[in-house]
Structure 1
Amino acid sequence: MKNTVVAKRYAEALYSVASERNQVDSVEKELGSILDVFNSHPELMNVLEHPGISIDAKKKQVAELFQGRVSDLVLNFLNLLFDRRRQDAIVEIGATYVELADAARGRIKAEVESAVQLSDEELNALKSKLGVNGKQVEFAAKVNPSLIGGLKVRIGDRVLDYSVTGQLERFRQTLKY
């Protein structure tokens, strides 16, 4: 991520204003819908990042797309990004904003990969194990048969690898030395 520092600064500023106005949840949803539009239409993002197109034309395009669909706060924020020539950081800003909102709510997002489909009971047990210090855990579970057995949990940058494949790989590494 080339814009990590920039994204953090802008996301923190937007979060600060949104929390003052009690609009944290609505801004998060609006940013999510904007990012969905950008992800489903990558050519739009190419136009918005194109250096040959004027800032005013880009701002007009964004206003036409999102006027009435998002709050004035979010629309003004997008215009600020264009004025500061930071439109290339929109995706990272959105992701960082969600992280800030989750941290304020005491929510952790985790990805769980398992060799077989986990039952609801197993997921609930895993949630209770990971949900320490009053944090609430949200899972995105998926099946990955290449793990052979066990599971892999990703929480932010941390990976907890309890898979058979991971254990075999660690064992192979110890045999090298």
Structure 2
Amino acid sequence: MNADPVTSRWCEALFSLAGRRGRRDAVAADLHKLQRELAGPLGRLVFDNRVAQSERRAKLEPVLAGCDPLTANFVNLCFDKRRVEVLRSIAAAFEQRLLAEQGAIEGVVESARPLSQGDVAELALGLAKLYGKRLVLTNRVRPELIAGVRVIADGRMVDVSAQGRLDSLEKRLLECSLPAPTA
């Protein structure tokens, strides 16, 4: 996922400050917690511009109470600068930035059935050579793939699924020219 330019700038500032203070892991954990909270009814209230800003901020206070002061200050700054929308995708942007710092990329491995953690790790290790970076993969079940896997990471897709092969075969069959019938 690529964050919008505003979120990217705010993320870079937070990432840099958290790095200088040695609190990147704490901030990342807080942002994931915040994202989970904002995915529910609280998020609908926080992102509703019809609700007074003071009320929206007050509803977030209990969540921010258990957070690192740097995270709480960041959220308050988003409110002060009227950039509350940044909070929608800051956790994902921060995670991507953290992975980039570690020389890794995030990706998805789609399969017809759930894969074990060992299978996912083995696949990530094997594909690291192709991508030139360490992969952090999550498994998504897609029964329509029939068999095999499809890996999507860094804007590229590696498809070795049965459905992918069938689609490729169909495309080749449709592209091939047939001889004209002779009478």
Q: TM-score range by the shorter chain?
A: 0.7 to 0.9
Tell me, what secondary structure is at the counterpart of 1:52?
Answer: coil
Aligned to 2:103: 106
- Once the two structures are TM-superposed, the CA of residue 109 in structure 1 deviates from its matched residue by 2.3
Paired residues of 1:152 and 1:163 also in contact (CA < 8 A): yes
Paired residues of 2:6 and 2:86 also in contact (CA < 8 A): yes
Paired residues of 2:105 and 2:133 also in contact (CA < 8 A): yes
Q: Kindly report structure 1 stretches of 4+ aligned residues shifted beyond 6 Å.
A: none
- My pick for the range that moved more, 47-56 or 112-121, is 112-121
- 1:72 is aligned, of 56, 66, 69, to 69
AA at the equivalent of 1:173: K
Bigger relative contact order, structure 1 or 2, given CA contacts below 8 A and separation 6+?
A: 1
Aligned sequence identity (%): 28
- 2:128 is aligned, of 128, 131, 135, to 131
- My pick for the range that moved more, 114-123 or 24-33, is 114-123
Cα distance in 1 between the residues matched to 2:141 and 2:47: 36
Q: Which runs of 5+ in 1 are unaligned?
A: none
Cα distance in 1 between the residues matched to 2:96 and 2:37: 20
Size of the alignment, in residue pairs?
174
Q: Where does 1:11-90 land on structure 2 (aligned, <5 Å)?
A: 11-39=11-39, 41=40, 43-67=41-65, 69-90=66-87
AA at the equivalent of 2:23: Q
AA at the equivalent of 2:38: F
Paired residues of 2:111 and 2:143 also in contact (CA < 8 A): yes
- Once the two structures are TM-superposed, the CA of residue 168 in structure 1 deviates from its matched residue by 1.5
Tell me, what secondary structure is at the counterpart of 2:137?
Answer: strand
Query: Kindly tell me: are residues 123 and 88 of structure 1, through their superposed partners in 2, closer, same or farther at Cα, counting changes over 3 Å?
Result: closer
Alignment deviations for residues 38-97 of structure 1 (CA, whole Å, 9 cap, x no partner): 12x2x2112112222222222222223322x00111111111111222212212122111
Instruction: Say which one has the larger Rg.
Output: 2
Paired residues of 2:103 and 2:134 also in contact (CA < 8 A): yes
Cα distance in 2 between the residues matched to 1:11 and 1:26: 15
Q: Which runs of 5+ in 2 are unaligned?
A: 176-183
Paired residues of 1:55 and 1:83 also in contact (CA < 8 A): no
- Once the two structures are TM-superposed, the CA of residue 121 in structure 1 deviates from its matched residue by 6.0
Alignment TM-score, normalising by the size of structure 2 = 0.82
Paired residues of 2:112 and 2:143 also in contact (CA < 8 A): yes
Query: Kindly tell me: are residues 31 and 119 of structure 1, through their superposed partners in 2, closer, same or farther at Cα, counting changes over 3 Å?
Result: closer
Cα distance in 1 between the residues matched to 2:83 and 2:108: 30
Aligned to 1:152: 150
AA at the equivalent of 1:153: V
- Once the two structures are TM-superposed, the CA of residue 144 in structure 1 deviates from its matched residue by 3.1
